[in-house]
Structure 1
């Protein structure tokens, strides 16, 4: 049942990714149904009585599920069709990953309610910064296209048309910093809850392992970007570089460690 729902969600995402841009209602409806099915499959995979199933594939699936929601909501106010060929194919792949890499069951017995909130806030922070990274990639491509004289440099066709449909760079930049600001606030809550309440959450003091270090480094990079934006007017390539570098660091902290443990070393969650 869960596999069938995941396959149907992936099919809807894939179909909506290739539909013509003028089929806006069909795209919005298809994405909404795919998102609901994705959420059902994700809930069936993650939730069980007094336990959670977690792993790198589940985390990626949850991230893209929330990212699709952000894309769908923002596209109602801004012409963000250029995000569609990036977000939806990735979501189609992510919804299928837990079938291949199911992860490990983590018991909730004896864990405080704060543990579930910590996990939820972490996923929200990660997902918001994921869509910000997608957005930064589009901005880089959009800026490159503006400075490229040859129309054939981007191959023409649907890809060039998708870039042309994006809002002006200044509008895109405002959207980027809105998402980074929200993601940074959620990441701050994640770091604070993980450090201050480590004993209650994990039953041990905070461990300065690679995950903690990469998370703190990512938090510092996004915080520095927001400070630089506020006091130095950072924008353009500087903002894009910080966004992508901060996201790559966060990716190593959350997904990279799970991938190494589960796929490379064949170990469960610690």
Structure 2
């Protein structure tokens, strides 16, 4: 099993790289294979099943659960891909695959090279496991929201410059992207709120001490305030366009600093679990 999981990860890296090449080739107009949405969707579904084994298999170590930086990143990206794949049944999510496929390659490679050493006992506590799952879902949704914001910025600039590209013809309309972004951010905000509240509860119950005023807590609250302000501004003042894009990207950067930033510093720089 030890040799099987790295081999599976390497196989998936090559498969996601091939899909990246396929989608980017169509964007640039020199792809060798025609697009077939149903076949692509089915293939991605099968890859996600293999991806789940590759990501979650190494995390289970007897009575411990490994939540190192590499495993955590790979799990979040798997959730992002699963959300993207599921949304494909109901929405036109064209364009996101240009980010998703290369990101899957990078995070799987990162998990192989830098798995991290942070082991958690309490994920076998169902309530604490739910807290971790909700937090990862929140991060995944905000990451998708940030990607949609980048697509909106890309599309808006191209329209203002009157540049007609192949990608522009494939993307949903700007208003559809914006509506989708706010739907994703709204659900993410609810989950992030639940994460922050449950984090305070579990800090007291699991660690036996009140929530500490740490770098992670500060940036987590800052991102929550920024996304809350954006959603309130959207509802009350009709914020949209570049204002919404800037707030979305700034809030996502704060969230990255809260979680991934702290893990990278602790595990890869300071070598602490």
Same fold (TM over 0.5): yes
Q: Distance in 2 between matches of 1:196 and 1:253?
A: 18
Write out per-residue CA displacement over residues 197-239 of structure 1, whole angstroms, 9 at most, x where no aligned residue: 4211322111011000000000111111111111111111111
Which position in structure 2 is the counterpart of 1:89?
102
1:75 aligns with 2:88: yes
Against the structure 1 CA distance between its residues 150 and 172, is the aligned structure 2 distance closer, same or farther, given a 3 Å change threshold? closer
Q: Distance in 1 between matches of 2:103 and 2:131?
A: 25
Which position in structure 1 is the counterpart of 2:14?
11
Against the structure 1 CA distance between its residues 149 and 162, is the aligned structure 2 distance closer, same or farther, given a 3 Å change threshold? closer
Query: What's the offset of the Cα at 1:109?
Result: 6.0
**Residue of structure 2 aligned with 1:113, choices 122, 126, 132:** 126
Q: Distance in 2 between matches of 1:29 and 1:180?
A: 27
Which position in structure 1 is the counterpart of 2:196?
191
Gaps of 5+ in 2: 27-33
Against the structure 1 CA distance between its residues 110 and 194, is the aligned structure 2 distance closer, same or farther, given a 3 Å change threshold? closer
Q: Distance in 2 between matches of 1:150 and 1:182?
A: 34
Query: What's the offset of the Cα at 1:182?
Result: 0.7
Query: What's the offset of the Cα at 1:112?
Result: 4.3
Which position in structure 2 is the counterpart of 1:258?
263
* Match runs of 1:17-36 below 5 Å: 17-19=20-22, 20=26, 22-36=35-49
Which position in structure 2 is the counterpart of 1:222?
227
1:103 aligns with 2:116: yes
Contact 1:12 1:30 in 2 (8 A): no
C-alpha RMSD of matched pairs (Å): 1.8
1:144 aligns with 2:144: no
Of residues 70-79 and 221-230 in structure 1, the stretch that sits farther from structure 2 once superposed is 70-79
TM-score (norm. length: structure 2): 0.89
**Residue of structure 2 aligned with 1:44, choices 57, 78, 83:** 57
Q: Tell me the secondary structure at the aligned position of residue 80 of structure 1.
A: coil
Contact 1:66 1:127 in 2 (8 A): yes
Q: Distance in 1 between matches of 2:208 and 2:127?
A: 12
Gaps of 5+ in 1: 152-159
